Amino acid sequence: MEYLDKQFGVIELINGPVVKGSQMASFKVNEMVTVGERQLIGEVVSLEGDIATIQVYEETEGLKAGEKITATGSPLSLHLGPGMLGNMFDGIQRPLKKIEEISKVFIPEGIGLLSIDEDKEWEVKLAVQKGDVLKPGHVYATVQETLSILHKIMVPPYLKEGTVVEVKPDGKYKLKDVVAVIEGKDGQRSDLTLMQKWPVRRPRPSGKRVPIYKPLVTGQRVIDTFFPLAKGGTVGLPGGFGTGKTVTQHQLAKWSDADIIVYVGCGERGNEMTSVLEEFPALIDPRTNRPLMERTILIANTSNMPVAAREASIYTGITMAEYFRDMGYDVAIMADSTSRWAEALREISGRLEEMPAEEGFPAYLPSRLAQFYERAGCVETLGGEEASVTIIGAVSPPGGDFSEPVTENTKRFVSAFLALDKKLAYARHYPAINYLTSYSAYIAMLEEWYKENVAEDMLSLRSKMIRILQEEEKLNEIVQLVGEDVLPNDQLLILEIARTIKKAFLQQNALHKEDTYVSLEKQYKMLVVIWTLHESTLACVKLGIPISTIRKQSVFEEVIKMKYDVPNNRIELLDLLCEKITLSYDALRQKYQ
Amino acid sequence: MRKEYLKLEKVEGPLIVLSNIENVAYDEMVEIKIDENEMRKGKVIKIEKDKVVVQVFEGTAGISTHNARVKFLGEPLKLPLSKEILGRTFNGMGEPIDGAYQVISAHKYNINGRPINPVARKYPRNFISTGVSAIDALMTLIRGQKLPIFSGSGIAHNELAVQIVKQAKIEGANSDNFAVVFGAMGVRHDDASYFMRSFEAAGVLDHVVMYLNLADDPITERISTPRCALTAAEYLAFEHDMHVLVILTDMTSYSEALREISSSRGEVPSRKGYPGYLYSDLSTIYERAGMIEGKEGSITLIPILTMPNDDITHPIPDLTGFITEGQIVLNRELNQKGIYPPIAILPSLSRLMKDGIGEDYTRKDHADLASQIFSSYSKVQDLRSLAQIIGEDDLGDVDKLYLKFGRAFEEKFVAQSSFENRSMIETLNLGWKILSILPQSDLDRLKPEQIKKYYKGKKE
């Protein structure tokens, strides 16, 4: 590495988180700097002549004109290595636990750059021998970071191919210990440690993209069955306040079948992050039987933390996600909420006195959103494995109005759109995902997978259910004008079945032990039960049996309550329920014939 | 001796601009002496080379470019705090206005505070019984929560706030160690004196600290009022282990003051002219509520805001709702029907309720009961619009029961007098009694054993 003379600039202007400095011609855009005597952390966002504009990641109170700005020589980068899982970081990867040790309850400014713990010793297994040829992305050591996740240490993408000339034995090492040395063809030697650095704003390289074909199974019925998500896909989750965005994001973080979850609390409530910290270690991953915290990384920039770090937090999250993807894992990143991130862009843009576009947002909002969502994908890694990053971005449209710029632009770049609906939330229909306006473009790509792994007719049952719900919506317009009583029996039946779909299937209780996570198999069987109910009752209606009589059969109630009554480990009870439905309505028909 | 500057370059709205200034820090306090007799305060809000923009708290009326002496104090606004503040009244900058002495303390507290580290927080779990049925049963207030009241002008939000202050009761040890911090931004004199009289009548005045910025006080002080109040609250809660209830009214006046200052600074406006940082700014107020691991005390925050034109999508209620943990929405129609408290149930919500109710806290059936009431009452609303078209007589029998349920719910459950203090159990039982108007088969959110135990209607 070339030796950089320390460079200094001088503060000229201070306006909230935006600082301008002079004599900074040798600084680079996106370079990290420290600002003022207390060495606040900042990043150069633009240069004009020798004047640099800097966004500061910490509170600027007390800063004076004339104080020094110091260059660090590198862009805002993360330390990537063991020690991230189960931890909570701020927007620029400073561990909040460590900050608490330094400063107790409140977060002060000027505590400097911290990152993952460099003093902790890890039990390392070396995976290479002298003479092995390593390319970027190849694994040379492993650390069992948590019982559920094996951390693979890879040759950083910025090194060239080389031959291993030195390798240490298995044993305990710290992050910056050299465990192997490779020599390139040009004879240049590079030390390999347990960590690498990567600038957050640059996507990590990977091999070619693999077409999407696997779902991200979430255990949430309305998602898995109606609007499935895909590994490597992008999802927008918009909803006004009180519609259950955060609960939905938490449910996805808990139950998605991704290997690693990166949860970015971007400009949200402090207590929500605390609840994740309290709740997740106690929750058990149904697939590995280990605490969910072992696969989770939390990034918290609560709404009262400095706004510039909020802008960075999204990039910090996605860079960590890509790093684990490069090991061959399926990673899902939840960003709650991207609107706060967009607003941070707007706030900083306003302070930079840039020309605003729609609703005061900067004109580059759509391109930033696109760049972010494009970092998702199912890829072949440099190491040759298949892996994915799925992005689930919550959007908080002001006033619940989906026509605002962030929602509109998000819609353009995501393929699944789960619209949270205020009216459903008011009726405590949770998850309040609107079953008529939401969509998932992954249905077609996942069809094969569902046929092979769940059931041949899963998706056709799904379409039938959706048709009933659409029909109900139309009938509801009539009902609102003239009441239900005037409808003929077959239409009344549609209303009843639609209600059953909503109550028994779409509504899912996140707080209920059996209902919080439901396997695909059980979801399918529940669909079959509802369809059986529809078929049997339709036959009764055709005979002229009044709806009230049909509705009174006790088996109807059983269907509505099956989500609570049938435990997840006894789903064969649903087959029995189907038989019972058929028998019960056969008997009813016989009485009328 | 600090330097004094005698010449202003510009006076505009609440701002003054000085040039040729050295060694000034961002957010630093400023003293301005006008015509050698009047003293005002301000703070630095922008530094550009040797030019400094200062926001004057008491307003710039009477200031010319030559009659003021400006002194920079070298530190941000700090409050001296001791337990002596209980029972006292201060202005929006923390100066006493009750005629008594200034509080003396060795340590001064920066009113801007610093964000609480999320890992240091303790998740709030214990409920506060307010004695108001609608709140206790359906949007339970939790100790350490921030739960705003969304109201409109002329609706009884002040009465409700006072009732909550009077009746709020917490369970467990240390429960008498409480304080109320009251911050008023731009409220009318009679509103402020209403609060003062009510606190006095309730006999809690010794536990109350007031920070008052009245409607005719300078708008710039409105910005510091809630920060002073919360700094005092943090001091009482986290250094003296007190349970502090903070009432801030009216957040709409606060936001308007912010907008006025922003526009006089010539900033790029975002929605409805409010500055782009309104969300970040509001959050630095609301997020100061909470509890901390290892400390006994708590800050429960009830901000009151009047929704302009009763519009819940207006930026102030909208952004507030995204930060706070739920909201209590008051409704003009109920208010006009004479229902007090006029709480609109459906849009109201307490996000922390789910972890603070149930078997260990209130009663096992609480969560399901609340969910059932929400769901049944939401059906009432649909039926009411239908009944308006086809007339109530043409509705089915069950639908008529729903309308009956709706009326009973509003008149007997939501409505109560401002002196009535219902216990949690009374409230839950009342909820069951009213739900019993509906047929048992329609109660699909309740478990059979709960229905067996509490349902009072015709059993099927």
* DSSP-based three-state secondary structure for B56: strand
Which residues, numbered 140 to 199 in chain A, qualify as contacts with chain B under a Cβ-Cβ cut-off of 8 Å? none
Model confidence pLDDT, tens digit, residues A285-339: 878 888 999 999 999 999 888 888 899 999 999 999 999 999 999 999 999 889 9
CB contact under 8 A, B117 and A99: yes
Half-sphere exposure (Cβ direction) of A11: Cα atoms closer than 13 Å: 35
- How many other CB atoms are found less than 10 A from the CB of residue A579? 10
Q: How far is residue A339's CA from residue A346's CA, in Å, rounded to a whole number?
A: 10
Contact B279 A65 (CB under 8 A): no
Pairing of strands A162-167, A150-154: unpaired
> Distances in Å between the alpha carbon of A546 and those of A475, A480, A553?
18, 22, 12
A-B CB pairs within 8 A amount to 212
* Whether residue A2 has pLDDT greater than 60: no
Q: What is the mean pLDDT of residues A559-581?
A: 93
Q: How far apart are the C-alpha atoms of A523 and A520, rounded to whole Å?
A: 5
**Would you state the structure tokens that stand for residue A150, as one six-digit string?**
């094996």
Q: How far is CA A73 from CA A3, A67, A477, in A?
A: 10, 19, 64
Q: Cβ contact (<8 Å) for B115 and A300?
A: no
Residue of A97, A270, A360 with shortest CB distance to B121:
A270
Sign of the C-alpha dihedral, residues B235, B238, B239, B242? positive
Q: Model confidence at A6, in pLDDT bands (50, 70, 90)?
A: low
pLDDT at A4 over 60: no
Chain B residues touching A103 at Cβ < 8 A: 117
Q: Counting beta carbons within 10 angstroms of the beta carbon of residue B403, is it exposed (0 to 12), middle (13 to 18) or buried (19 or more)?
A: middle
Question: Do A65 and B385 make contact, defined as CB atoms within 8 angstroms?
Answer: no
Q: Among A212, A436, A193, which residue's Cα sits nearest to residue A330?
A: A212
Instruction: Say which residue the tokens 């009477």 belong to.
Output: B62
Q: What is the longest distance spanned by two Cα atoms in chain A?
A: 97
Q: Chain A closest CA to B403's CA: distance in Å?
A: 14
Q: With beta carbons under 8 A apart, name residues in chain B contacting A16.
A: 277
Inter-residue contact A105 to A90 (CB < 8 Å): no
- pLDDT, tens digit (0-9, with 9 covering 90-100), for A474-516: 999 888 888 788 899 999 999 999 999 999 999 999 888 889 9
CA distance B354 to chain A (A): 9
The two tokens of residue A331 are: 């990673």
Residues of chain A in contact with residue B312, where contact means CB-CB under 8 angstroms, are 399
How far is the alpha carbon of B263 from chain A, nearest alpha carbon, in Å? 13
* C-alpha distance from B23 to closest chain A C-alpha (Å): 6
Query: Which residue does chain A place closest to B390, by CA atoms?
Result: A482
Kindly report the average pLDDT of chain A as a whole number.
Answer: 92
Q: Is the pLDDT of residue A1 over 50?
A: no
Q: Considering only the beta carbons, identify the residue of A60, A273, A428 that sits closest to B118.
A: A273
- In this prediction, residue B337 carries a pLDDT of 92
Sort out which chain B residues have CB atoms less than 8 A from A107's CB and list them: 114-117
Chain segment B295-328, per-residue pLDDT in tens: 989 999 999 999 999 999 899 999 999 899 999 9
In one-letter notation, the amino acid at residue A461 is: L
Sign of the CA dihedral with A308 first, then A310, A311, and A317 last: positive
Nearest residue of chain B to residue A276 (CA atoms): B123
Closest-CA residue to A135 (of A324, A382, A322, A327): A382
Can you tell me the distance from the alpha carbon of A335 to that of A242, in angstroms, rounded to the nearest whole number? 17
Ranges under pLDDT 50 in chain B? none
Cross-chain Cβ contact B374/A88 below 8 Å: no
Residues A192, A168: contact at Cβ < 8 Å? no
- Which residues are CB-neighbours of A206 under 8 A, at least 6 positions away? A322, A325, A326, A377, A379, A380, A381, A382
**What does the alpha-carbon distance between residue B342 and residue B327 come to, in Å, rounded to a whole number?**
14
| B24 vs A65, A360, A398: nearest CB | A65
Please give the distance of CA A534 from its chain centroid, rounded to a whole number. Answer: 36
Say yes or no for a CB contact (<8 Å) between A14 and B276: no
Q: Please say if the pLDDT value at position A3 is more than 50.
A: no
Q: Chain B within 8 Å of A513 (Cβ-Cβ)?
A: no
- Is residue A150's pLDDT more than 70? yes
Chain B contacts of A240, Cβ < 8 Å? 318, 321
pLDDT at site B1: 60
Going by DSSP bridges, is the β-strand pair A234-238/A386-395 parallel, antiparallel, or unpaired? parallel
